[in-house]
Amino acid sequence: MKKTLFAFVGGLVAVAAATSCNNNNNNVTPPVAAFGVVNASPNSGNVDVYLNGSPVVYMLPYGTDTGYYSVQAGTYTLTIDTAGSTTPWYNQSISFAAGVNYSVFAIDSAQKMQTSVVVDSFTAPSGDTALIRFLDYSPNTGAIDVAVQGGSVLFSNRTYNDVAANASFAQFGNLTAGTYTLEVRAAGTSTVLFTFPNFTVTGGKVYTLFAKGFTGGDGGQALTLDTVAHN
């Protein structure tokens, strides 16, 4: 299981050309947002990501993230293509509000690439409790439950990119620290589609758990779960 970290580095890393100050107003701090990109597009390979034509990251592998970047609040053009290509898979507007942190997931197949933009709003817990949410980015799997093996269902009847229609799915809930074996099941049944062992949850941490890949996919494109650790 690969865990990735969305971390503020040096007080937020600035995206080139996106955070320049107005030279006539050097004492004015522009309103700032933060965003990170996750490559969850199963067959896109490594991707390059640009904001208003300026590079955010080159060669971002499938299943990994960029970390957070600071950016002035506003609307930009987000472009994503297979590394080294000049033909983008995705080229659309994206808006960032001041004081808000976002996760931007590149999802679906490369030929149908879209993004899922979710708000990261949380206060890190204390003690032996973690925060967790689940996002479904497996395009062809159908409705699923995510359950603890031998235990309770954590997330029920979730469908592909359902957070787009129901923003409450971007909210975090509590989970007791520990090591879990998770099962992805056909929703409302005991039919196990995939088992995800050794999911370690540490107290005080904040996680996004997400489904990626295709049912029936081979190798790295197979259905699986992955995580982003936000602190």
Structure tokens at 230: 């936000």
Yes or no: say if 184 and 225 are a contact pair by the CB < 8 Å rule. yes
User: Residue 68 has what pLDDT?
Assistant: 85
In the chain, % of residues over pLDDT 70: 87
Q: What is the per-residue DSSP string for the chain?
A: --EEE----SS-EEPTTTSPPPGGGTTPPPPEEEEEEEE--TTS-SEEEEETTEEEEEEE-TT-B---EEEESEEEEEEEEETT-SS-SEEEEEEE-TT-EEEEEEES-GGG-EEEEEE-------TTEEEEEEEE--TTS-SEEEEETTS-EEEEEE-TTGGGT-GGGGS-EEEESEEEEEEEEETTS--EEEEEEEEEE-TT-EEEEEEESBTT--GGGB-EEEEEE--
pLDDT digits (tens, 9 = 90+) for 117-170: 999 999 999 999 999 999 999 999 999 999 999 999 999 999 999 999 999 999
Q: Domain 1-120 has what CATH class?
A: mainly beta
For residue 16, pLDDT beyond 60: no
- Hey, which residues does 115 pair with through a beta bridge? 106
Yes or no: say if 52 and 19 are a contact pair by the CB < 8 Å rule. no
pLDDT digits (tens, 9 = 90+) for 19-64: 333 344 455 557 899 999 999 999 999 999 999 999 999 999 999 9
The number of C-alpha atoms within 13 Å of 147 and in the hemisphere containing its C-beta is 20
Cα-based angle 225, 101, 130 (whole degrees, multiple of 5): 50
User: Residue 28 has what pLDDT?
Assistant: 57
The domain locations on the chain are: 1-120, 124-231
10 vs 57 pLDDT, higher one: 57
Mean per-residue pLDDT over the chain, rounded? 88
